């Protein structure tokens, strides 16, 4: 019985570590998106929406992010 408990604890710990690592990856990605969005918004204000949208889409592609439309 003790062996099963230890095995379950190990599995739970491994899943927790995976979740924690994924959390850090997502936090980093969200920070990248925020830093990318700041100049994109500034560009939209200073030039036009189309130019800013093109630039933002190029930045998203460079980050490997694909947006999907929502309705």
pLDDT at 51 (0 to 100): 87
In this prediction the pTM is 0.63
Range of weakest confidence among 11-15, 19-23, 64-68 = 64-68
Count the neighbouring beta carbons within 10 Å of the beta carbon of residue 40: 21
First to last CA, the chain: 52
CA distance 71 to 60: 21
CA distance 52 to 50: 5
pLDDT at 28 (0 to 100): 92
Q: What is the pLDDT of residues 28-51, one digit of tens each?
A: 988 988 988 888 888 888 888 888
């Amino acid at each position: 019985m003790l062996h099963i408990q230890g095995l379950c604890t190990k599995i739970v710990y491994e899943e927790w570590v995976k979740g924690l690592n994924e959390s850090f990856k997502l936090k980093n990605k969200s920070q990248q998106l925020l830093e990318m969005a700041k100049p994109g918004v500034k560009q939209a204000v200073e030039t036009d929406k189309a130019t800013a949208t093109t630039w933002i889409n190029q930045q998203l592609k460079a980050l490997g992010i694909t947006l999907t439309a929502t309705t």
